[in-house]
Structure 1
Amino acid sequence: MNVQILVDTACDLTEEQYKTYGIERLPLTVHLAKKEYRDGIDITPKKIYDAMRSGESPTTSQVSLQTFQTIFTTYAKEKHALLYLSFSSELSGTYQTAKMMEQQVLEEYPEAELHVLDTKCASIGYGLVAIRAAKLANEGKSMEEIIETVQYHTKHMEHIFTVDDLKYLYRGGRVSKTAAFVGSLLKIKPVLHVDEGKLIPIEKVRGSKRVLKRMLEIMEERGTDFENQIIGISHGDDIERAKQLAEMIKEKFPVQDVLIEMVGAVIGAHSGPGTIALFFLNNDYK
């Protein structure tokens, strides 16, 4: 029996991708206008972005302990190997909750093949890791082989991104109020990356056209083995700029393919509309 790959919806994969690769998902929760929605099930990212443009401030919450208990126990009872790949522990408490329940379930079912792994990734960077794990699982690879490859990909997955309006990062405590105000006035676009799961500013670029060019330069500086990997792009309801970046990449690098998806409701609630994110490996594809 193959290893089942489990993710949460911060990986920003589509319904079709979950089905194609046999990936099971747990929805995170979005709170909007005093209502709760299951990310990717009850609400679309588009609704979140439209609400944010109208001045609303959605919030999010992690997968519950009870949800983990139910699914972990089910797989343990059925003696079916389960690998849960979590959203970065630096951006959500979901990983810690899952680890807590993993320990409890293994105490009751010590023979269960149950593992929880922190990807330290987000959005399509996380999604690409999940797809790689699912492909290996579908090939019948062992839990140990899958974990080893997943850890390699999470270690080498670059996240380079920019946001359209600094106020959303300010609201989430990522930049100061002064920086957000001045940045908006001067049309300054921050370029950030993810280091060990944390959001880290790299530099500031003036103008949206220049920021895409700079993201491409960073990809050239950090990336390698492009012909053997799928490049990921996610966007906050800005498909035109996402396509523009994809074309720039295809013109410059011999990439295998470029996967474009919308930033999901949960991550989008913190990054805001207009976000553009780029994902690639900084080492050889494995």
Structure 2
Amino acid sequence: MIAVVTDTCASVPQHLVESLQIEVVPYYIHRDGETLRDMIDISPEEFYRWLPTIQKLPTTANPGPGDYLQAFERVAQRANGIVSIHMTSKGSGAYQAGCVAREMAEASMPGVRIEVIDTLQVSGVHALATIEAAYVALQGGSLEEVAETARYVARSGLMLQAFDTLRYLYLGGRIGKAKHLVGTLLNIKPIVSMADGIVVPMGQARSIEQAYHKMVEMMADRGAGKGPIKVAITHNAAPDRAAALLELVTRTFDCRETFITQTSPALGVHTGPGMIGVSYFPLRAGD
């Protein structure tokens, strides 16, 4: 049997974590002198209520090699192969930590094969890659089949996010004060995606509702209407927005499976409350 390991920044819904037997390793959040385990010591609900009150962003840290090694050792009790799936290595050290943990595991678990995957993605596509890989693993897929599934979703998937405010990009040093001021005055909602493992701007909207439609247009431009797709809707403390975006997406495209998930604090700290996103990948023939 093959086991699938990921981390909290994938933001896989808990019911799928449990039903698909996914092992999840927490990121860390450093806040006011204390270290919190993402999604364990602090929930998204608590975090997004607290975030608007701050003037300085908390910092985050990826799991270390020891964290991943412990996860590998746990799942090795029920598996002879492991696929560990990580967000882009260009935005986090998690992939490198997983690679180091694999080397450490070669000594302690010589009979267990481990594949470590850099998705070059974040958020919804990271979640979709993890979930699809776990489906294949539960169906008895080989290590190669499980890993290839994750890689297919990662390279074919599209992630789009619209931010409700520029405040957290400013606090995180990603934009300057002037751009923050102008963007706030104009009520700009930036839309971003991923390209070669890096967050890239895709456009902007003057309202969240306009952002929904722009993201759906971007999906269509990418070819989402050419065949069946699977979809993840992500949000930060914005369930009504998530439901509205999902309704628009399912009305527009042939969606075979969908889910809504709230992003983990370690990932959502950079986008803030109100963020709304959509990710998808196209199904292959026979899927």
TM-score when normalising by structure 2: 0.91
* Deviates most, 76-85 or 255-264: 76-85
Distance in structure 2 (CA, Å) of the matches to 1:125 and 1:68: 21
- Residue 149 of structure 1 aligns to a residue in which SS? helix
Q: Does 1:60 align with 2:75?
A: no
Q: 2:102 corresponds to which residue? A: 102
CA displacement, residues 108-137 of structure 1 (integer Å, 9 cap, x when unaligned): 655431111112222232111111001100
Q: List aligned pairs for 1:28-43, cutoff 5 A.
A: 28-43=27-42
CA, structure 1 residues 283+200, in 2 after alignment: closer, same or farther (shift >3 Å)? Answer: farther
* Deviates most, 28-37 or 123-132: 28-37
Distance in structure 2 (CA, Å) of the matches to 1:253 and 1:19: 29
CA, structure 1 residues 258+283, in 2 after alignment: closer, same or farther (shift >3 Å)? Answer: closer
- Residue 224 of structure 2 aligns to a residue in which SS? coil
CA displacement, residues 51-81 of structure 1 (integer Å, 9 cap, x when unaligned): 1111252221110222223333566688721
* Deviates most, 76-85 or 167-176: 76-85
- Partners of 2:129 and 2:149 within 8 A in 1: no
CA, structure 1 residues 232+106, in 2 after alignment: closer, same or farther (shift >3 Å)? Answer: same
Distance in structure 2 (CA, Å) of the matches to 1:78 and 1:221: 43
Distance in structure 1 (CA, Å) of the matches to 2:98 and 2:231: 29
Instruction: Say what the alpha-carbon RMSD is for the aligned residues.
Output: 2.2
**CA shift for structure 1 position 165:** 1.1
CA, structure 1 residues 203+17, in 2 after alignment: closer, same or farther (shift >3 Å)? Answer: same
Unpaired runs of 5+ residues, structure 1, are none
CA, structure 1 residues 106+76, in 2 after alignment: closer, same or farther (shift >3 Å)? Answer: farther
Q: List aligned pairs for 1:213-232, cutoff 5 A.
A: 213-224=213-224, 228-232=228-232
Distance in structure 1 (CA, Å) of the matches to 2:46 and 2:33: 15
TM-score when normalising by structure 1: 0.91
Unpaired runs of 5+ residues, structure 2, are none
AA in 1 matched with 2:204: K
Q: List aligned pairs for 1:121-270, cutoff 5 A.
A: 121-224=121-224, 228-270=228-270
Q: 1:118 corresponds to which residue? A: 118
Q: 1:21 corresponds to which residue? A: 20
AA in 1 matched with 2:264: G
CA, structure 1 residues 77+231, in 2 after alignment: closer, same or farther (shift >3 Å)? Answer: closer
* Deviates most, 253-262 or 88-97: 253-262
AA in 2 matched with 1:256: R
- Partners of 1:48 and 1:58 within 8 A in 2: no
- Partners of 2:4 and 2:84 within 8 A in 1: yes
